[in-house]
Structure 1
Amino acid sequence: MAAREKSAALGKVARPRLYEQLMKQILGYVEAEQLGPGDHLPAERDLAEQLGVSRATLAQALVALEVLGVIDVQHGTGAVLVYRPSIATVLRDLREHQSRLPEIVEARSTLEVKLAALAAERRTDEDLERIDAALKVMAGEIADGGRGARGDELFHEAVTAAAHSRVLAQLMTFIAEMVLETRLESLGQPGRPERSLESHQVIAGAILNGDAAAAAAAMQAHIDLVSDVALLK
């Protein structure tokens, strides 16, 4: 009877996600090769081939390591090691990051949806020019093979400025570093930069037309899009 009760208390052990396994293997490679800050990891194509996974799957692991500050990924130069942490430290930081993401998304929905609506009501010609310039920067980055991260950041800054609300702008500054986590996470998803740019264009169009309700709805749809990331699945 006692043995039966013990068996009933046992549950299935959760299988680690593939990108977590890849993170461990990449960190194991870093340790084995004694790589230090500034050293490059193998090119994505070579790394994916060595690990026996698709480049899309590998990209999820690299994005997670980038968000955690372990590597820096730049278009044209590949992944560069920022520091060499222990595997245990990275997995702990990953768990903290995963638990924080839903709250960051919640904060963005609360603040940025309102900012988009206010921007539609209060924007000036100068604000519209700044929004358009940000869209062009992002489009240029994507056309060059990048993720459009700088253009994405400029766009959201331009929308915030167009709302002309000092208090909301201060709150956005306060969560800026956390928003950066979701930005890297989202733009690292396959095909996401192009989709994100398209949703930015919809938001910009609503702001241009002075349609507060449409701007708010478009911003919420955009945040729903960017919150669809592998780490939350």
Structure 2
Amino acid sequence: MSEALRPMVKSRLYEQVLDRLREYVAEADLHAGDRLPAERDLATRLGVSRASVKQAIVVLEVQGLVEARHGGGTYLVRDTLDVEPVEQLVERRKRLPDVLEAREALETKLAELAAERRTDAELEDIRQALGFMSDEIAGGGFGVEGDRRFHAAVTAAAHSSLLADFMKTIAGQITESRNESLRQPGRPSRSLAQHTAIYDAIAAGEPKKAAAAMRKHVRTVAKVRLLDWVPED
């Protein structure tokens, strides 16, 4: 069947608001830390309801592009509003709970095994991943690569080829959940602290503490704005 005759998708009004806000930020040369106009002013200038503006702002929050401060306005977190298509957000929201459930089951066991089986060289790999993540965050980043290296090093230290294979099969979804989590306000530094607790337990050779620390960490990863978002029709 011709692609030209695929089902048509009705554009939501708040998606049009998102397009206009992206254009406005670029034209006004706004940057991270700058404040957007008040919702009431945006609604008046765009000729839409305040509800449509509020829906657009929520989508921007979900994507970590703005921070809405209670009673203090809405501020840019990044220099641009490169908004992910809403349909992609909806699909990722559907996938995320299953991915997080699998991560908790797999990574808790991997941390436990790593505390039992790791070599000194593997412990050093985990420590170096922590240092890399710390440097990323200190430089203003989210610590994404350091996070990836840390969990990869823990997996290697567990010496379980089957669990490692399971992790590989969901590597793409894990990357999604990692990016989703680390763009939450204040999350990178909190994640680093939790990684340190996991490392300490593995270094001390305490499997139960390592498993508990990893479980706490993955449950923190699961606390993301996306899962609280209810897509508007």
Tell me the TM-score normalized by structure 1.
0.70
Do residues 156 (structure 1) and 151 (structure 2) align? Answer: yes
Match of 2:209 among 202, 208, 214: 214
Partner of 1:43: 31
Partner of 2:119: 124
Given the superposition, is the C-alpha separation of residues 159 and 23 from structure 1 closer, same or farther in structure 2, using an over 3 Å criterion? farther
Given the superposition, is the C-alpha separation of residues 51 and 178 from structure 1 closer, same or farther in structure 2, using an over 3 Å criterion? farther
Whether the aligned pair in 2 keeps the contact of 1:63 and 1:184 (CA below 8 Å) is no
Deviation at 1:91, TM superposition (A): 2.4
Given the superposition, is the C-alpha separation of residues 229 and 23 from structure 1 closer, same or farther in structure 2, using an over 3 Å criterion? farther
Given the superposition, is the C-alpha separation of residues 129 and 79 from structure 1 closer, same or farther in structure 2, using an over 3 Å criterion? farther
Partner of 1:185: 180
Whether the aligned pair in 2 keeps the contact of 1:116 and 1:216 (CA below 8 Å) is yes
Given the superposition, is the C-alpha separation of residues 208 and 42 from structure 1 closer, same or farther in structure 2, using an over 3 Å criterion? same
1:48-197 aligned within 5 A: 48-50=35-37, 52=39, 60-63=61-64, 78-79=79-80, 81=82, 90-197=85-192
Deviation at 1:135, TM superposition (A): 0.5
Deviation at 1:181, TM superposition (A): 1.2
Report how many aligned residue pairs link the two structures. 189
Deviation at 1:176, TM superposition (A): 1.1
Deviation at 1:22, TM superposition (A): 7.3
Match of 1:25 among 12, 17, 37: 17
Amino acid at match of 1:45: G
Deviation at 1:143, TM superposition (A): 1.2
Whether the aligned pair in 2 keeps the contact of 1:64 and 1:185 (CA below 8 Å) is no
Distance 2:131 2:60 in 1: 25
Given the superposition, is the C-alpha separation of residues 151 and 24 from structure 1 closer, same or farther in structure 2, using an over 3 Å criterion? farther
Deviation at 1:175, TM superposition (A): 0.8
Could you say what the CA RMSD is over the residues aligned between the two structures, in angstroms? 3.2
The percentage of aligned residue pairs carrying the same residue is 43
Given the superposition, is the C-alpha separation of residues 160 and 51 from structure 1 closer, same or farther in structure 2, using an over 3 Å criterion? farther
Distance 1:127 1:22 in 2: 49
User: Which structure 1 segments of 5+ residues have no match?
Assistant: 1-19, 36-40, 66-76
Deviation at 1:23, TM superposition (A): 6.4
Deviation at 1:60, TM superposition (A): 2.5
User: Which structure 2 segments of 5+ residues have no match?
Assistant: 1-11, 40-52, 67-77, 229-233
Amino acid at match of 1:60: E
Partner of 1:6: none
Do residues 226 (structure 1) and 221 (structure 2) align? Answer: yes
Whether the aligned pair in 2 keeps the contact of 1:23 and 1:62 (CA below 8 Å) is no
